[in-house]
């Protein structure tokens, strides 16, 4: 990448902050713009500009001098296609040379409920005329390790995923790949990168890992999708969100979060961080 700035949207979130940190290792700080809704949460060391997906004028203003964009998908499930479209439209108008969008594994065919908005966003990108790449991220390891202490205390990992294998990687891995790929110039038009962990695990193996780490027995409780959804509601999740998570777990059981292409490993030039290491960090932080 020869000139111009890179804007990272969602830069106040967990993935976006890490993408900014990874870009700082590769580019002068004055070539990086962190975009987000709240300056108070801005990552340090780079310029911050307000980027609110619901306020197109903020997006347009933040694109001044920007030639590449990492569009981190938002977290307002159900509202994301128009939000992402606002960024894509503004980037096309501003003449952005490359946009990378954080999508989901095999977004074009993935039946997870959560995949629909990613698929629709990729379709908006394809119709936009922009040069773009899809960073089709698998699950974060942190989706599991974030509740590891609770699972150890309960002695149970609830699952609707059966023996399905999940190729999770850490946010640090996906962030590094985003930084590497947005800086490359050798993409095919609309290229999709299926980004996933170098290794995979089933939820039974995850429970075994929790047992080994804690010295306490942790077992898998096999549930149907509707039983798992009900259990999540019982644990305090809103019904709609519980349904989405149960759907994802059941479809992970059918292999939709598995990928052994090692595309992520090739992009970052090292194997992804092992689940056990991410777990150690999560347990140490408690
Ligand atoms: N692969 C996976 O396992 C997985 C898991 C969960 C989510 N995801 C997806 O990956 C994305 C990044 O993950 P994450 O862990 O970084 O999530 P996160 O910490 O929740 O970050 C989401 C980011 O989206 C921003 N955002 C939400 N609504 C916005 C709006 N209207 N305008 C501008 N920014 C907005 C948030 O801004 P604020 O800081 O202002 O709230 C935040 O920076 C998520 O948003 C979601 O699409 C993937």
- CA 112, chain centre distance (Å): 15
**Pocket of ligand 1 contains residue 51 by CB under 6 Å:** yes
Averaged confidence pLDDT in the chain: 97
pLDDT in tens, 216-253: 999 999 999 999 999 999 999 999 999 999 999 999 99
CA angle 205, 208, 213 (to 5 degrees): 130
The per-residue pLDDT for 2 is 66
Task: Give the mean model confidence (pLDDT) for residues 244-270.
Answer: 98
Residues 108 and 201 in one domain: no
Residue 1 in this model has a pLDDT that exceeds 70:
no
pLDDT in tens, 19-76: 999 999 999 999 999 999 999 999 999 999 999 999 999 999 999 999 999 999 999 9
CA distances from 225 to 112, 114, 190, 230, 241 (A): 13, 15, 34, 9, 13
H or E element at residue 286: none
**Pocket of ligand 1 contains residue 16 by CB under 6 Å:** yes
Domain CATH code at residue 154: 3.90.25.10
The per-residue pLDDT for 94 is 97
Identify whether the C-beta of residue 65 lies closer than 8 Å to the C-beta of residue 5.
Answer: yes
**What number does the ligand 1 atom closest to the CA of 15 have?**
16
Residues 56 and 155 in one domain: no
Total H helices, total E strands in the chain? 12, 9
Among 40, 32, 184, residue whose Cα is nearest residue 98: 184
Residues 122 and 26 in one domain: yes
**Coil, strand or helix at 235:** coil
Q: How far apart (Å, rounded) are the C-alpha atoms in residues 125 and 100?
A: 10
Residues 93 and 113 in one domain: yes
- Distance (angstroms) between ligand 1 centre and the Cα of 244 equals 16
Residues 80 and 156 in one domain: no
Q: How far apart (Å, rounded) are the C-alpha atoms in residues 148 and 210?
A: 7
Within 10 angstroms of residue 234's Cβ, the number of other Cβ atoms is 9
Ligand 1: residue whose CA is nearest its atom 10: 73
What is residue 218's DSSP assignment? -
**Pocket of ligand 1 contains residue 36 by CB under 6 Å:** yes
Residues 104 and 224 in one domain: no
Residues 279 and 161 in one domain: yes
Q: How far apart (Å, rounded) are the C-alpha atoms in residues 78 and 82?
A: 9
**Pocket of ligand 1 contains residue 76 by CB under 6 Å:** yes
- Distance (angstroms) between ligand 1 centre and the Cα of 69 equals 16
pLDDT in tens, 132-142: 999 999 999 99
Work out the pLDDT band at 286, boundaries 50, 70, 90. confident
The per-residue pLDDT for 229 is 98
Domain that holds residue 205: 140-169+197-258+273-286
**What number does the ligand 1 atom closest to the CA of 138 have?**
1
Residues 145 and 285 in one domain: yes
pLDDT in tens, 62-121: 999 999 999 999 999 999 999 999 999 999 999 999 999 999 999 999 999 999 999 999
Give the number of domains in the chain. Answer: 2
**Pocket of ligand 1 contains residue 52 by CB under 6 Å:** yes
Residues 111 and 215 in one domain: no
Domain CATH code at residue 64: 3.40.50.720
Residue 3 in this model has a pLDDT that exceeds 90:
no
Identify whether the C-beta of residue 16 lies closer than 8 Å to the C-beta of residue 9.
Answer: yes
The per-residue pLDDT for 48 is 98
**Coil, strand or helix at 213:** helix
Task: Give the mean model confidence (pLDDT) for residues 254-282.
Answer: 98
**Pocket of ligand 1 contains residue 55 by CB under 6 Å:** no
Identify whether the C-beta of residue 138 lies closer than 8 Å to the C-beta of residue 159.
Answer: no
């Amino acid at each position: 990448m020869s000139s111009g700035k890179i804007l990272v949207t969602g830069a106040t979130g967990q993935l976006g902050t890490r993408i900014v940190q990874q870009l700082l290792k590769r580019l002068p700080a004055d070539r990086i713009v962190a975009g987000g809704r709240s300056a108070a949460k801005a990552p340090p060391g780079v310029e911050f500009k307000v980027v609110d997906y619901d306020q197109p004028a903020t997006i347009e203003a933040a694109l001044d001098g920007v030639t590449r964009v990492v569009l981190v998908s938002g977290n307002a499930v159900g509202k994301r296609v128009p939000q992402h479209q606002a960024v894509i439209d503004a980037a096309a108008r501003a003449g952005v040379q490359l946009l990378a969008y954080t999508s989901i594994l095999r977004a074009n065919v993935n039946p997870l409920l959560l995949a629909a908005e990613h698929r629709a966003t990729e379709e908006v990108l394809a119709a936009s005329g922009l040069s773009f790449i899809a960073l089709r991220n698998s699950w974060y390891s942190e989706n599991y390790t974030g509740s590891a202490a609770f699972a150890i205390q309960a002695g149970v990992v609830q699952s609707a995923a059966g023996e399905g294998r999940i190729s999770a990687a850490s946010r640090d891995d996906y962030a590094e790949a985003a930084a590497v790929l947005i800086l490359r110039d050798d993409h095919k038009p609309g290229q999709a990168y299926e980004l996933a962990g170098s290794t995979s695990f089933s939820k039974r193996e995850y429970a075994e890992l929790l047992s080994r780490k804690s010295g306490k027995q942790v077992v898998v409780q096999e549930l149907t999708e509707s039983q798992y959804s009900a259990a999540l509601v019982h644990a305090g999740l809103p019904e709609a969100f519980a349904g989405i998570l149960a759907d994802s777990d059941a479809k992970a059981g059918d292999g939709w979060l598995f990928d052994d292409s090692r595309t992520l490993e090739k992009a970052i030039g090292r194997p992804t961080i092992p689940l056990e290491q991410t777990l150690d960090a999560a347990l140490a932080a408690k």
